[in-house]
Amino acid sequence: MDDEVEVLHGGVANAGAVVRAGDHVLRPGNEHSDSILRFLAELRTTGFAGAPAPVGRESDGRERLTFIPGQVAIPPYPDWVQTDAALASITRLLRSFHDAARQVDTTTMSWSAEMVDPQGGVLVCHNDVCLENVVFRDGHAVALLDFDFAAPGRAAYDVAAFARMCVPIDDDVNPAKLGWHPNDRPRRLRLVCDTYGLDTAGRAEVLACLDGAIERGGEFVRRHVEAGEPGFVTMWEEMGGMERFDRRRAWWADSREEFAAALA
């Protein structure tokens, strides 16, 4: 039994339910926890150390993982996590994760369909690389957290999902609420693609994935709002409901060509 626990802040679905107990982290389990823990264990055998190591499951179903020391940025995002160097470091970490994931046999594992690539694929993607799910040391990304929404898909889809949240690719209103400073978003998207090592076709695929994600924007959150999940209800209200996603769609329609030009 853990005598002292520290609540780890950040996130929406598991807000307030993820705790540190000494060298371990305890987080709510789900129907895919066994597969996620097996996957994380297999990742370690490839030499990839940029994710928590699984310890096991508690009698109450919670996952027990190793704690990774470092800094995790939560809104309002600090200046140090908004630099190009921080963005590039997350990109390199994501590429390393993908390279390791390709070496893992996942044929008997099950995955969440919540954020899955609609076109499918065989590479296990993280699908939720936002700033709150990255551990930094000295301004550089060293580990990814929270694999609840991991699922097979395409690398470009995972890169697009990460870029959408960490460039960020959004209109001017909502990023400001999270503490983002104005930046050259098309240039930062090109930085992500170049750092990852995408060629012309790969960059075009990322752009197409962004088209689809922005068109579908709001569906994931609304499902959880309709299910009455408090964290999502609060976020939905603070963001302005579906109007927030409609505004982003209008912004993307006006701004897409700037991004396309940057990726050409």
Whether the ω angle into residue 175 lies within 30 degrees of 0, i.e. cis, is: no
Beta bridge partners of 54: 65
Domain boundaries, the chain: 6-66, 79-263
Number of H helices, E strands in the chain: 9, 9
Q: Whole-prediction pTM value?
A: 0.93
Distance, CA of 182 to CA of 101 (rounded, Å): 34
The predicted structure's pLDDT at residue 23: 96
Report pLDDT for 147.
98
pLDDT in tens, 164-179: 999 999 999 999 999 9
Tokens 């609609």, located at residue: 118
pLDDT above 90 (res 16): no
pLDDT band at 231 (very low <50, low <70, confident <90, very high): confident
115-158: pLDDT as tens digits = 999 999 999 999 999 999 999 999 999 999 999 999 999 999 99
Q: Is 237 left (phi over 0), alpha (psi -120 to 50) or beta?
A: alpha
Instruction: Give the pLDDT band (50/70/90) at residue 223.
Output: confident
CATH, range 79-263: 3.90.1200.10
What is the distance between the alpha carbons of residues 80 and 179, in angstroms, rounded to a whole number? 12
Contact between 141 and 90 (Cβ < 8 Å): yes
